[in-house]
Structure 1
Amino acid sequence: MQNKKIGGFLLVFFLIFTTACEEETFDIERFGSISGIVVDGDTYEPLQGVLITTTPSSNAVLTDEGGTFQLEKIKDGDVVITARKKDFLNGTINVAVYEEENTAVTFFLLEDENNVGSVILSDPVPGNGAVNQDLSFTFSWNVDQENPGIPLAYSVFIFESNSTVQDLVGENLPTNEANVTGLKPNTTYFWYVVAKYEGRNVANSPTWTFATGDQ
């Protein structure tokens, strides 16, 4: 009887150990890739030497003479891509990376003319990654100013996925909202906001994304 108990215990232990090994074996990291282009937001000319980094971190790369870049072996999931170049405002885009698929992005960088202290544009409506949006609605965002007494104006840009040109939704707006109309159904859009003081660029938001519904 004692031998049977020992044998049964060893069998249970073996099954637990085997199951744990199987779970660990199937916990495999999956990777995709990211490609993109960075252009001047005013002239649409490609920008060379832009530093591209990601969060979670991966290999940092510089754009080539055509403004393009490629990031290989990016772990699947949500990734924040940042573009930095001297004398330009930083650009950021949050994207989803899928296994064995390439995600294409476009950055429009504007010259940095900041002389009014820190300005942070955040909390977009619709939220980043929103889906089934109407073909006409109102954008809004939050503004956090280091010097809140300085009056800012806002310009809002929108562009379709994989496009290297953009549309101006609103220019020199006195408040942090803009109306957008005439959108296409079942389309992914990207949009961002530029804050200006006396016509000079002082901050830009991350590039946010949303998708319209079947309307």
Structure 2
Amino acid sequence: MTLNRLLVANRGEIGIRILRAATDLGIETVAVHSQDDAQSLHTKHADQVVALSGSGPSAYLDIAEIVAAAESSGCDALHPGYGFLSENPELARRCADRGVLFVGPTVDQLELFGNKVAARGAALRSDIPVLPGTEHAASPADAHEFFDSLGAGAAVIIKAVAGGGGRGTRAVFQSDEIDAAFAAVPLRGGGGLRERRPVLGAVRPAGAPY
């Protein structure tokens, strides 16, 4: 498949890298920017620039407006970069519905691996070794029971079921730290995360690196 024009739905270093790579491949490029990013460097590396209506990071999370920008500028493909909407299956689905190629995983893959419980289940079904962990979104009571079952010297990682970049991850080394870790996980999520509150526990053997 030949790509003629690519919209890059990101900014900063990653946006610039994608724009440069596309240009090197002879693909026309379109950058988007929030109202307060109009002079940002990534806009200088694109053949066309489309202004989004919002300001700040939230502008880059508006799926409808970003896909509309791709359509209005004649793009046949959209690259999300990383962060923002890159792991959001709804963006990939909307692109498919509008005939715009999403440069990234499929909708099914994003839905599977965007949920740590589902991804863990897929790994187990494929006989991929995984560390012990909960098989569902855990409650504090589940975490206490799981922690106690691990024995001396173990530790637990508590993390949002759906999230990105390690945000909200807490390591728990003592059972009396669990409740505080649960309370902190949702508060440390945010941005483009689609699901913040459900969390799971996974063991970290004593002495193992993160």
TM range (shorter): under 0.3
RCO higher in 1 or 2 (8 Å CA, sep ≥ 6)?
1
> TM-score, normalised to structure 2's length?
0.27
More strand by share: 1
More helix by share: 2
